[in-house]
Amino acid sequence: MAVLCKPAIAVPEYVITRDETLELAKRLHKDHAQLRLVLRLIEHTGVLTRRLIQPIDKVLKHPGLDARSAVYEQESKARVPSVVRQALDEAELEPQQIDLIIYVSCTGFMMPSLTAWLINTMGFRTDTRQMPIAQLGCAAGGAAINRAHDFCTAYPDANVLVVACEFCSLCYQPTDLGVGSLLSNGLFGDAIAAAVVRGRGGTGVSLERNGSYLIPHTEDWISYAVRSTGFHFQLDKRVPGTMEPLAPALRELAQQHEWDAGKLDFYLVHAGGPRILDDLSRFLDVPPEAFRFSRATLTEYGNIASAVVLDALARMFDEGCAGDGHRGLLAGFGPGITAEIALGSWTTDS
Protein backbone atom coordinates (compact mmCIF):
# COMPACT_ATOMS: atom_id res chain seq x y z
CA MET A 1 0.00 0.00 0.00
CA ALA A 2 1.16 3.56 -0.71
CA VAL A 3 2.14 5.40 2.46
CA LEU A 4 1.92 9.16 2.95
CA CYS A 5 4.98 10.00 5.05
CA LYS A 6 5.55 12.91 7.42
CA PRO A 7 5.28 16.28 5.66
CA ALA A 8 7.78 19.10 5.93
CA ILE A 9 6.36 22.59 6.49
CA ALA A 10 7.90 26.04 6.18
CA VAL A 11 6.27 29.39 6.83
CA PRO A 12 7.91 32.73 6.02
CA GLU A 13 9.43 35.09 8.55
CA TYR A 14 7.05 38.07 8.33
CA VAL A 15 4.13 37.87 10.78
CA ILE A 16 0.84 39.74 10.85
CA THR A 17 -1.57 39.33 13.76
CA ARG A 18 -5.34 39.53 13.76
CA ASP A 19 -5.22 42.81 15.68
CA GLU A 20 -2.85 44.28 13.10
CA THR A 21 -5.13 43.08 10.31
CA LEU A 22 -8.15 44.73 11.94
CA GLU A 23 -6.28 48.01 12.38
CA LEU A 24 -5.22 47.93 8.74
CA ALA A 25 -8.81 47.34 7.64
CA LYS A 26 -10.01 50.27 9.75
CA ARG A 27 -7.32 52.56 8.32
CA LEU A 28 -7.52 51.52 4.68
CA HIS A 29 -11.31 51.19 4.45
CA LYS A 30 -12.59 53.67 7.04
CA ASP A 31 -15.32 54.90 4.69
CA HIS A 32 -16.47 51.44 3.55
CA ALA A 33 -20.23 51.08 3.98
CA GLN A 34 -19.89 47.53 5.36
CA LEU A 35 -16.72 47.99 7.41
CA ARG A 36 -18.34 46.83 10.66
CA LEU A 37 -19.47 43.60 8.97
CA VAL A 38 -15.99 43.03 7.53
CA LEU A 39 -14.33 43.57 10.91
CA ARG A 40 -16.77 41.17 12.58
CA LEU A 41 -16.14 38.51 9.95
CA ILE A 42 -12.35 38.82 10.31
CA GLU A 43 -12.64 38.59 14.09
CA HIS A 44 -14.53 35.32 13.72
CA THR A 45 -12.15 33.61 11.28
CA GLY A 46 -10.30 31.95 14.16
CA VAL A 47 -7.02 33.24 12.68
CA LEU A 48 -4.65 34.80 15.21
CA THR A 49 -1.46 35.05 13.13
CA ARG A 50 -0.46 34.67 9.51
CA ARG A 51 2.92 34.50 7.76
CA LEU A 52 3.93 36.52 4.71
CA ILE A 53 6.86 36.28 2.29
CA GLN A 54 7.24 40.08 2.29
CA PRO A 55 6.77 42.84 4.89
CA ILE A 56 3.22 44.12 5.03
CA ASP A 57 4.12 47.46 3.44
CA LYS A 58 5.28 45.61 0.32
CA VAL A 59 2.25 43.31 0.35
CA LEU A 60 -0.08 46.31 0.30
CA LYS A 61 1.54 47.73 -2.84
CA HIS A 62 0.67 46.39 -6.28
CA PRO A 63 3.66 46.74 -8.61
CA GLY A 64 1.91 44.82 -11.40
CA LEU A 65 1.43 41.20 -12.39
CA ASP A 66 4.86 40.99 -14.02
CA ALA A 67 6.60 42.15 -10.84
CA ARG A 68 4.53 39.83 -8.67
CA SER A 69 5.29 36.91 -10.97
CA ALA A 70 9.00 37.65 -10.59
CA VAL A 71 8.62 37.63 -6.80
CA TYR A 72 6.73 34.33 -6.97
CA GLU A 73 9.50 32.68 -9.00
CA GLN A 74 12.29 34.14 -6.88
CA GLU A 75 10.71 33.22 -3.55
CA SER A 76 9.64 29.72 -4.61
CA LYS A 77 13.15 28.91 -5.82
CA ALA A 78 14.62 30.28 -2.61
CA ARG A 79 12.23 28.51 -0.22
CA VAL A 80 11.01 25.26 -1.77
CA PRO A 81 14.27 23.23 -1.94
CA SER A 82 14.87 23.09 1.82
CA VAL A 83 11.30 21.88 2.37
CA VAL A 84 11.73 19.22 -0.32
CA ARG A 85 14.98 18.02 1.25
CA GLN A 86 13.31 17.70 4.66
CA ALA A 87 10.37 15.77 3.18
CA LEU A 88 12.77 13.37 1.47
CA ASP A 89 14.64 12.92 4.74
CA GLU A 90 11.39 12.17 6.57
CA ALA A 91 10.64 9.46 3.99
CA GLU A 92 14.23 8.18 4.09
CA LEU A 93 14.62 8.59 0.34
CA GLU A 94 17.00 10.33 -2.05
CA PRO A 95 15.97 12.49 -5.02
CA GLN A 96 16.96 9.71 -7.44
CA GLN A 97 14.30 7.47 -5.88
CA ILE A 98 11.41 9.80 -6.78
CA ASP A 99 9.43 8.83 -9.89
CA LEU A 100 6.85 11.63 -10.00
CA ILE A 101 6.75 15.19 -8.67
CA ILE A 102 3.31 16.73 -8.14
CA TYR A 103 3.55 20.50 -7.66
CA VAL A 104 0.44 22.40 -6.59
CA SER A 105 -0.03 26.14 -6.36
CA CYS A 106 -2.90 28.51 -7.07
CA THR A 107 -1.10 31.74 -6.16
CA GLY A 108 1.48 32.08 -8.93
CA PHE A 109 2.21 30.79 -12.42
CA MET A 110 5.39 29.56 -14.09
CA MET A 111 5.95 27.71 -17.34
CA PRO A 112 7.77 25.43 -17.30
CA SER A 113 6.56 24.50 -13.85
CA LEU A 114 8.89 24.67 -10.86
CA THR A 115 9.11 20.88 -11.24
CA ALA A 116 11.51 21.29 -14.16
CA TRP A 117 13.75 23.58 -12.12
CA LEU A 118 13.69 21.15 -9.17
CA ILE A 119 14.72 18.26 -11.41
CA ASN A 120 17.60 20.27 -12.84
CA THR A 121 18.89 21.60 -9.53
CA MET A 122 18.18 18.98 -6.86
CA GLY A 123 19.42 15.74 -8.37
CA PHE A 124 16.16 14.17 -9.48
CA ARG A 125 16.36 11.82 -12.47
CA THR A 126 15.78 13.33 -15.89
CA ASP A 127 12.98 10.79 -16.50
CA THR A 128 11.09 11.93 -13.38
CA ARG A 129 7.47 12.56 -14.33
CA GLN A 130 5.94 15.98 -13.67
CA MET A 131 2.37 16.86 -12.71
CA PRO A 132 1.68 20.54 -12.00
CA ILE A 133 -1.80 21.34 -10.60
CA ALA A 134 -2.78 25.01 -10.74
CA GLN A 135 -6.55 25.37 -10.79
CA LEU A 136 -7.96 23.33 -7.90
CA GLY A 137 -7.19 25.97 -5.29
CA CYS A 138 -7.43 24.77 -1.71
CA ALA A 139 -8.60 21.32 -2.85
CA ALA A 140 -5.28 20.70 -4.60
CA GLY A 141 -3.53 19.36 -1.50
CA GLY A 142 -6.03 16.53 -1.31
CA ALA A 143 -5.93 16.07 -5.07
CA ALA A 144 -2.14 15.77 -5.04
CA ILE A 145 -2.28 13.06 -2.37
CA ASN A 146 -4.93 11.20 -4.35
CA ARG A 147 -3.05 11.40 -7.65
CA ALA A 148 0.08 10.17 -5.86
CA HIS A 149 -1.96 7.26 -4.50
CA ASP A 150 -3.27 6.49 -7.99
CA PHE A 151 0.25 6.54 -9.42
CA CYS A 152 1.56 4.19 -6.74
CA THR A 153 -1.39 1.88 -7.37
CA ALA A 154 -0.41 1.71 -11.04
CA TYR A 155 3.31 1.46 -10.24
CA PRO A 156 3.61 -0.23 -6.82
CA ASP A 157 7.36 0.32 -6.50
CA ALA A 158 7.16 4.04 -7.30
CA ASN A 159 7.64 7.02 -4.99
CA VAL A 160 5.94 10.38 -5.41
CA LEU A 161 6.95 13.80 -4.09
CA VAL A 162 4.10 16.23 -3.39
CA VAL A 163 4.91 19.95 -3.09
CA ALA A 164 2.43 22.70 -2.19
CA CYS A 165 3.67 26.27 -2.57
CA GLU A 166 1.15 28.96 -1.69
CA PHE A 167 2.01 32.67 -1.52
CA CYS A 168 -1.51 33.97 -1.01
CA SER A 169 -0.25 37.45 -0.15
CA LEU A 170 0.76 37.91 -3.81
CA CYS A 171 -2.94 37.86 -4.70
CA TYR A 172 -3.82 40.93 -2.62
CA GLN A 173 -5.78 43.40 -4.76
CA PRO A 174 -6.14 46.88 -3.21
CA THR A 175 -9.02 47.82 -5.51
CA ASP A 176 -11.20 44.81 -4.58
CA LEU A 177 -13.60 46.16 -1.95
CA GLY A 178 -16.29 43.48 -1.84
CA VAL A 179 -16.98 41.90 1.53
CA GLY A 180 -15.64 38.52 0.36
CA SER A 181 -12.42 40.06 -0.89
CA LEU A 182 -11.87 42.07 2.28
CA LEU A 183 -12.54 38.99 4.38
CA SER A 184 -9.96 37.03 2.39
CA ASN A 185 -7.41 39.75 3.19
CA GLY A 186 -7.67 38.69 6.83
CA LEU A 187 -7.88 34.94 6.24
CA PHE A 188 -5.14 33.69 3.90
CA GLY A 189 -1.48 33.15 4.71
CA ASP A 190 1.69 31.98 2.96
CA ALA A 191 3.30 28.55 3.41
CA ILE A 192 5.17 25.73 1.70
CA ALA A 193 4.60 22.04 2.40
CA ALA A 194 6.01 18.85 0.93
CA ALA A 195 5.55 15.14 1.58
CA VAL A 196 6.47 11.84 -0.02
CA VAL A 197 4.08 9.03 -0.87
CA ARG A 198 6.10 5.80 -0.85
CA GLY A 199 4.92 2.85 -2.90
CA ARG A 200 6.51 0.46 -0.40
CA GLY A 201 7.57 0.98 3.20
CA GLY A 202 7.37 4.14 5.25
CA THR A 203 5.61 5.35 8.39
CA GLY A 204 2.44 7.37 8.09
CA VAL A 205 -0.99 7.05 6.49
CA SER A 206 -1.39 3.94 4.36
CA LEU A 207 -3.68 5.19 1.60
CA GLU A 208 -6.55 2.79 0.87
CA ARG A 209 -9.24 4.62 -1.12
CA ASN A 210 -9.79 8.04 -2.64
CA GLY A 211 -12.59 9.90 -4.30
CA SER A 212 -13.78 13.26 -5.55
CA TYR A 213 -17.10 15.05 -5.36
CA LEU A 214 -18.29 18.27 -7.01
CA ILE A 215 -21.38 20.13 -5.80
CA PRO A 216 -23.38 20.79 -8.98
CA HIS A 217 -23.63 24.34 -10.32
CA THR A 218 -21.36 25.98 -7.73
CA GLU A 219 -18.38 26.70 -9.98
CA ASP A 220 -18.75 30.48 -9.50
CA TRP A 221 -18.80 30.32 -5.68
CA ILE A 222 -15.00 30.29 -5.37
CA SER A 223 -13.13 31.65 -8.35
CA TYR A 224 -10.48 33.92 -9.78
CA ALA A 225 -11.21 36.73 -12.16
CA VAL A 226 -8.00 36.82 -14.19
CA ARG A 227 -7.28 40.41 -15.18
CA SER A 228 -4.31 42.50 -16.24
CA THR A 229 -3.62 43.10 -12.54
CA GLY A 230 -3.49 39.38 -11.77
CA PHE A 231 -5.73 37.01 -9.84
CA HIS A 232 -8.79 38.58 -8.24
CA PHE A 233 -10.25 36.23 -5.63
CA GLN A 234 -14.03 35.95 -5.64
CA LEU A 235 -15.89 34.35 -2.72
CA ASP A 236 -19.63 33.80 -2.60
CA LYS A 237 -21.40 34.25 0.73
CA ARG A 238 -22.86 30.74 0.37
CA VAL A 239 -19.46 29.03 0.62
CA PRO A 240 -19.44 28.63 4.43
CA GLY A 241 -22.52 26.40 4.13
CA THR A 242 -20.99 23.88 1.75
CA MET A 243 -20.29 21.20 4.35
CA GLU A 244 -23.97 20.27 4.45
CA PRO A 245 -23.88 18.85 0.88
CA LEU A 246 -20.25 17.67 1.17
CA ALA A 247 -20.55 15.71 4.41
CA PRO A 248 -22.77 13.04 2.77
CA ALA A 249 -20.08 12.60 0.09
CA LEU A 250 -17.54 11.91 2.83
CA ARG A 251 -19.92 9.43 4.42
CA GLU A 252 -20.61 7.72 1.10
CA LEU A 253 -16.93 7.17 0.32
CA ALA A 254 -16.38 5.76 3.79
CA GLN A 255 -19.38 3.45 3.40
CA GLN A 256 -17.95 2.14 0.13
CA HIS A 257 -14.90 1.19 2.17
CA GLU A 258 -17.12 -0.33 4.90
CA TRP A 259 -16.14 2.41 7.34
CA ASP A 260 -18.33 4.83 9.31
CA ALA A 261 -17.14 8.39 8.66
CA GLY A 262 -18.37 9.38 12.11
CA LYS A 263 -16.29 6.76 13.92
CA LEU A 264 -12.76 7.22 12.68
CA ASP A 265 -9.61 7.83 14.68
CA PHE A 266 -8.33 10.95 12.92
CA TYR A 267 -9.55 13.68 10.57
CA LEU A 268 -7.27 15.91 8.48
CA VAL A 269 -9.36 18.39 6.51
CA HIS A 270 -8.95 21.73 4.82
CA ALA A 271 -9.51 24.55 7.28
CA GLY A 272 -11.02 27.26 5.10
CA GLY A 273 -12.66 28.80 8.15
CA PRO A 274 -14.07 27.82 11.52
CA ARG A 275 -17.56 27.13 10.23
CA ILE A 276 -16.26 24.38 7.94
CA LEU A 277 -14.83 22.58 10.95
CA ASP A 278 -17.86 23.27 13.15
CA ASP A 279 -20.29 22.02 10.49
CA LEU A 280 -18.26 18.88 9.77
CA SER A 281 -18.27 18.12 13.47
CA ARG A 282 -22.05 18.44 13.48
CA PHE A 283 -22.84 16.66 10.20
CA LEU A 284 -20.42 13.78 10.81
CA ASP A 285 -21.39 13.62 14.49
CA VAL A 286 -17.81 13.74 15.78
CA PRO A 287 -16.44 15.85 18.65
CA PRO A 288 -14.88 19.23 17.76
CA GLU A 289 -11.58 17.94 19.15
CA ALA A 290 -11.37 15.61 16.14
CA PHE A 291 -10.44 18.61 13.98
CA ARG A 292 -7.83 20.05 16.36
CA PHE A 293 -4.97 19.73 13.86
CA SER A 294 -6.80 21.63 11.12
CA ARG A 295 -8.00 24.23 13.63
CA ALA A 296 -4.44 24.77 14.90
CA THR A 297 -3.28 25.39 11.31
CA LEU A 298 -6.05 27.95 10.83
CA THR A 299 -5.26 29.69 14.14
CA GLU A 300 -1.50 29.90 13.70
CA TYR A 301 -1.08 30.29 9.92
CA GLY A 302 -4.51 31.18 8.53
CA ASN A 303 -5.91 29.49 5.46
CA ILE A 304 -2.75 28.34 3.65
CA ALA A 305 -4.72 26.91 0.73
CA SER A 306 -3.47 23.57 -0.63
CA ALA A 307 -0.88 23.25 2.16
CA VAL A 308 -3.46 22.92 4.96
CA VAL A 309 -3.98 19.15 4.85
CA LEU A 310 -0.23 18.52 4.85
CA ASP A 311 0.32 20.87 7.78
CA ALA A 312 -2.50 19.19 9.70
CA LEU A 313 -0.88 15.79 9.06
CA ALA A 314 2.49 17.08 10.25
CA ARG A 315 0.83 18.23 13.48
CA MET A 316 -0.64 14.76 14.00
CA PHE A 317 2.82 13.25 13.51
CA ASP A 318 4.23 15.66 16.09
CA GLU A 319 1.52 14.87 18.62
CA GLY A 320 2.29 11.17 18.30
CA CYS A 321 -1.32 10.17 18.89
CA ALA A 322 -1.74 7.73 15.99
CA GLY A 323 -1.25 4.02 16.48
CA ASP A 324 -0.98 1.16 14.02
CA GLY A 325 -4.33 0.46 12.42
CA HIS A 326 -5.92 3.77 13.37
CA ARG A 327 -8.28 4.77 10.58
CA GLY A 328 -8.71 8.27 9.24
CA LEU A 329 -9.96 10.66 6.60
CA LEU A 330 -8.18 13.42 4.68
CA ALA A 331 -10.10 15.97 2.64
CA GLY A 332 -9.36 19.13 0.69
CA PHE A 333 -12.14 21.51 -0.34
CA GLY A 334 -11.89 24.14 -3.04
CA PRO A 335 -13.25 25.68 -6.24
CA GLY A 336 -15.84 23.72 -8.09
CA ILE A 337 -17.06 23.38 -5.31
CA THR A 338 -14.82 20.29 -5.17
CA ALA A 339 -13.90 17.86 -2.43
CA GLU A 340 -10.89 15.56 -2.77
CA ILE A 341 -11.16 12.79 -0.19
CA ALA A 342 -8.78 10.06 0.96
CA LEU A 343 -9.16 7.20 3.44
CA GLY A 344 -6.22 5.51 5.10
CA SER A 345 -4.85 3.70 8.12
CA TRP A 346 -1.82 4.51 10.20
CA THR A 347 1.13 2.20 9.67
CA THR A 348 4.60 2.04 11.15
CA ASP A 349 7.48 0.88 8.99
CA SER A 350 9.06 -2.11 10.66
The residues assigned a catalytic role are 138
Phi, psi of 193 (to 5 degrees): -140, 150
CA atoms within 13 A on the CB side of 246: 30
Beta strands 266-269; 327-334: pairing state:
parallel
